[in-house]
Chains A and B, each alone.
Chain A
Amino acid sequence: EADIYQTPRYLVIGTGKKITLECSQTMGHDKMYWYQQDPGMELHLIHYSYGVNSTEKGDLSSESTVSRIRTEHFPLTLESARPSHTSQYLCASRQGNTEAFFGQGTRLTVV
């Protein structure tokens, strides 16, 4: 059973609001990732981290930011939400080249 948690599961928020999507894992994995996925579509990597104080942007340009102050915590922040940010956001972690473990996802709707 994977121990990676995302909150909230669902979020409906108004345009212009600041939001933070939480992701935590208890497995001690050094690598963590954020993917964006529209319904029924492929996953796009938007941010990743290979350790504390290390963050990089992924292949898909995103207006979000991330931080990695603790190994277990990798929150994603949108300073000003827009309808174009409506999507599902998936957090994952892995150790070395083993499989990635995914959280349940956060489905974000910006109205």
Chain B
Amino acid sequence: AQSVTQLDSQVPVFEEAPVELRCNYSSSVSVYLFWYVQYPNQGLQLLLKYLSGSTLVKGINGFEAEFNKSQTSFHLRKPSVHISDTAEYFCAAPPEAGSYQLTFGKGTKLSVIP
């Protein structure tokens, strides 16, 4: 079964600086990949998704991610962060081909410093 690994549990970054949140998945089969954001005491909100097609995916709030099959990665990037981006970010994917479940990474806490 596929696992999803988020390499950083916490990422502090200054306001207006760029940020990259890393996500690696363990399988090389066809994948569907997702990034979600969770604000305090809220559910998860979809940032972006990769189902097929272009490997560069643009999402909401200025975020984008690049699917890299050779490196089995799906890193999330933003060129200039705002205070309001402070939240928990989760990478997700099906645990295996054909599964309708979603396996989530352990999350990365992004803290934007004024």
Contact = CB atoms under 8 A, between A and B. Distances in A.
* A and B interact: yes
Interface of A: 6, 31, 33, 40-43, 45, 48, 50, 58, 90, 92, 94, 96-105, 107
Interface of B: 32, 34, 36, 41-46, 49, 51, 88, 90, 92, 94, 100-102, 104-107, 109
15 contacts: A41-B106, A42-B104, A42-B105, A43-B44, A48-B100, A58-B101, A94-B102, A97-B94, A98-B49, A99-B49, A100-B46, A100-B102, A103-B43, A105-B42, A105-B43
Nearest to B100: A31
Given A31-B100, A42-B107, A94-B100, A99 B43 contact: no
Contacts of A107: 41
Contacts of B105: 42
Contacts of A90: 43-44
